[in-house]
Amino acid sequence: MPKLKTKSSAKKRFRFTKSGKIKMPQAGKRHGMIKRTNSQIRKQRGTTIMSKRDSKIVKSYMPYSLRG
Helix (H, G, I), strand (E, B) or coil at 23: strand
For residue 42, what is the domain's CATH number? 4.10.410.60
Q: Is this model's pTM higher than 0.85 or not?
A: no
Helix (H, G, I), strand (E, B) or coil at 44: coil
Domain presence at residue 18? yes
Q: If 0-12 CB within 10 Å is exposed, 13-18 middle and 19+ buried, where does residue 14 land?
A: buried
Domain presence at residue 3? no
Q: How confident is the model at residue 66 (pLDDT cuts 50, 70, 90)?
A: confident
Domain presence at residue 42? yes
Number of domains in the chain: 1
Render pLDDT for 21-60 as a digit per residue (tens, 0 to 9): 999 999 999 999 999 999 999 999 999 999 999 999 999 9
Q: What is the DSSP letter of 34?
A: T
